[in-house]
Structure 1
Amino acid sequence: MRMRNNHNHSNKTNGVSSPISSGGCRTAEPGSNEWEMRPGGMLVQTRTTASDRNPVLVPTIRVRVKFRSIYHELNISSIASFGDLKKMLTGPTGLHHQDQKLFYKDKERDSKAFLDIVGVKDKSKLVLMEDPISQEKRALEIRKNAKMEKAAKSISQISLEVDRLAGRVSAFESIISKGGKVVESDVLGLIELLMNQLLKLDGIIADGDVKLQRKMQKSSKVC
């Protein structure tokens, strides 16, 4: 009985069954981490290395893209989208990514589609073409924004001038409220200046937010 108790005690440490076999070799139970005996008889689980905890890296592929008569080779993540590839092609081709049409296996691919999903692999070949419709739309948008910016700047300058003239109007009102008199020519001159600013506003061709801003300025003058 004493010998059996000693044997059982040697295979337990703080109530935890030891995975060390009777032959003294380290073993591991299925589904559990390996154990190791430290100096002094302490039993601990074997630590995993940092590499064991690292996720699998996404591979990088090299694709060939033909644009006009030139081939461009690029390294890109295999799980990237065609939109990502278009942005990478902006530099070497000088073509804005919104003006590009990418073809793989004779079929245009959407920018939101992923390379690996449609079968693009290492050394795959693609074709890049310009999108004239997109170019025209973007050019119109740029011109529209430039026109609106210019109109907004002009309205801002008119607004500053109106504020200055409003100060003169307040001065006239103060004089009249105190029983004073204002020279008629000064009043007529101020009205003329205000009308000139109103004509400038009418000359500004604008729409959207700028049109609303212009309407507000005209309303302030009437008041």
Structure 2
Amino acid sequence: MMKKRSNGYGKMSESSTVTASSTSREEAVEWEMRPGGMLVQKRSDIKDVSAPNIRLRVVYGALRHEISVNPQATFGEVKKLLTGETGLQPGEQRVIFRGKERENGEYLDMCGVKDRSKVILMEDPSSIERRFIETRRNAKIQSAHRAISDVSLEVDKLAEQVSAIEKSISNGVKVAEVQITTLTEMLMRQAIKLDMISTEGDASAQKNLQGKRVQKCVESLDALKISNARIKPVIVTTKWETFDPPPTTPQWEFFD
């Protein structure tokens, strides 16, 4: 029931009550700018879950996808759904509808998206460049790992030869000096190969490890060379056995 106009004793009039109520409703309304410059009442964050989903046809290069989505969803939510279909992260996607790239915060229904509408999905150019750089970087790292692995196998073989020489010298057997010199040169070649390998991250740690192995083997050979020089060569003499000359052939006497 509406109140009557005040009679002068401080009661609120009917007009003032209506004005206050209208002002309160206007203050509760929030406004937003739609694409195209139209000012409308701001959409509530609560979606109408009763609204049936629509089918959205997505063209991604030569591929075709179809997803089901709420018409009151945003293009940002559409990108999240497309991540599972395409493998592209939302930040790597560009969604085109009616010839215009759509922002993440734009709503489907407000942009005119309906059931069976078609959108075009493109990969962001900067994302393509980043992926190309990352692919090259990974290929470089894998190549470095393979090269270091090859050097490691060679060092394993040479280290076995160093151990064999060390065992001989410790047993007092003199080794040909050329054998030690040749083995040292072969180890230095592996060190040069390691220096030529460009590495980063874990590959750098593996490279340093193999470098230390080569250095340790070379230092061992230097020490073995000194020890080997102190060993006097063993002179083996052969005692010859003498034999008596065979008996001469007897002379036959002839008789008439």
- TM-score higher than 0.5: yes
CA RMSD of aligned residues (A): 3.7
After TM superposition, list the pairs within 5 Å mapping 1:211-222 onto structure 2. Answer: 211-222=204-215
**Aligned-residue offset at 1:73:** 5.9
User: 38, 45, 55: which one pairs with 1:62?
Assistant: 55
Q: What does residue 28 of structure 1 align with?
A: none
1:162 aligned residue (131, 155, 160):
155
How many angstroms apart in 2 are the aligned matches of 1:158 and 1:137?
32
Q: Which of the residues 71, 74, 86 maps onto 2:66?
A: 74
Distance 2:174 2:79 in 1: 75
Matched, 1:132 2:125: yes
Code of the residue aligned with 2:157 in structure 1: it is: R
Counterparts of 1:193 and 1:221 in 2: how far apart (Å)?
10
State the distance in 2 between where 1:60 and 1:179 align. Answer: 89
Moved more, 170-179 or 100-109: 100-109
2:186 aligned to 181, 184, 193, which one?
Answer: 193
The equivalent of 1:107 in structure 2 is: 102
5 Å matches for 1:143-182?
143-182=136-175
Aligned length in residues = 157
Query: Equivalent pairs: percent with the same residue?
Result: 43
Does structure 2 retain, via aligned residues, the 8 Å contact 1:64–1:123? yes
Per-residue CA deviations over 1:9-55 (Å, capped at 9, x if unaligned) read xxxxxxxxxxxxxxxxxxxxxxxxxxxxxxxxxxxxxxxxxxxxxxx
CA offsets 1:35-79 (integer angstroms, 9 cap, x no match): xxxxxxxxxxxxxxxxxxxxxxxx7631133668x9956133659
* 1:83 maps to amino acid: K
What is the CA distance between 1:127 and its match in structure 2?
Answer: 4.2
- Cα 1:186–1:72 change in 2 (3 A) is closer
Name the stretch that deviates more: 147-156 or 119-128: 119-128
Inter-partner Cα distance in structure 2 for 1:60 and 1:159 = 60
| 8 Å CA contact retained: 2:94, 2:101 | no
Question: Which amino acid letter does the alignment assign opposite residue 202 of structure 1?
Answer: D
Q: Does 1:97 align with 2:50?
A: no
Candidates 181, 202, 210, aligned match of 1:209: 202
Greater C-alpha Rg: 2
1:141 is aligned to 134
Q: C-alpha separation between the residues in 1 aligned to 2:122 and 2:186?
A: 56
Assess if the C-alpha contact under 8 Å between 1:60 and 1:75 holds in 2: no
Query: Unmatched 5+ residue regions in structure 2?
Result: 1-51, 217-256
User: Which residue identity does 2:208 align to in structure 1?
Assistant: K
The verdict on how the C-alpha distance between 1:159 and 1:66 changes in structure 2, with shifts beyond 3 A counting, is: closer
Query: Aligned letter for 2:203?
Result: V
Distance 1:150 1:214 in 2: 13
- Tell me the equivalent position of 1:84: 81
Deviation at 1:149, TM superposition (A): 0.5
AA matched with 2:79:
F
Superposition TM-score, scaled by structure 1 size: 0.57
